[in-house]
Structure 1
Amino acid sequence: MEINQNPYMSFSGMNPEEWSFLQQATADLTDNQKRYFNMVYADKRKNPQDIMLVTLIGFFCVAGIQRFLLGQIGMGILYFFTGGLCFIGTIVDLVNYKSLTTEHNRKMAFESYQIAKMQAN
């Protein structure tokens, strides 16, 4: 992989913390595995701005959509039936949307790493 070419910077909403995490996480992968990781991770990754917008929509329409998108089905159902825990949970999610997204993306990076590692050289 070329030094000037950085596939991680093509992700929308990528911050330096996530970029650094991905660089360290994929350091021991071969070039083919890194390409495969990039392809898998791109499908699983969520953009923090998208989660913020969906949380705002959930605040005014249907609560819990952001939790469903982040794979937290139980919390999504709870938010849906309680109106975002009487809007308090939705407000907290609105404040913490970046950390919710970062946590989700780290889990997806780990899953993508495992899939790429199983990929034949």
Structure 2
Amino acid sequence: MSDFSFAMLPGIETEEMIWLQELTKSYSAENKQRFLSVYQSRRKDPQTILICSLIGFVAVAGVQRFLLNQIAMGIVYVVTLGFCFVGTIIDAVNYRKMTWQYNKKEALASAALLGL
């Protein structure tokens, strides 16, 4: 399995790809494939998070927080209309950082789940 397999993930950026290659450099080809399949099922696409952030302006605020497993913040966003849209604007600007933090946590959890 080549390191270019990570490039097929939707919305992946260079920083994330380099980090994943470094994380999996000692894995066998079979373990990399197992890791990729688990990680791909848990990973969130940054564009999806951006779209959900923007939905907060016209519908329910906080959907992006629920997708990122931040349930308490999602409830706060729903109740406060995304902190009167200020939090929604901040999330729309910082969607890449929020997604990267979530994906990094999920990559480590995927490796731990597989015992790698």
Q: TM-score range by the shorter chain?
A: over 0.9
State the match for 1:49 in structure 2: 47
| In the alignment, structure 1 residue 111 sits paired with structure 2 residue 109 | yes
> Gaps spanning 5+ residues in structure 2: where?
none
2:57 and 2:96 map into 1 onto residues whose CA distance is 17
1:70 and 1:39 map into 2 onto residues whose CA distance is 19
1:72 and 1:60 map into 2 onto residues whose CA distance is 21
RMSD: 1.2
TM-score with structure 1 setting the length: 0.91
> Gaps spanning 5+ residues in structure 1: where?
none
| In the alignment, structure 1 residue 58 sits paired with structure 2 residue 28 | no
Pick the aligned partner of 2:37 from 30, 36, 39: 39
Moved over 4 A (4+): none
State the match for 1:25 in structure 2: 23
Bigger relative CO (Cα 8 Å, ≥ 6 apart): 1
TM-score with structure 2 setting the length: 0.95
State the match for 2:76 in structure 1: 78
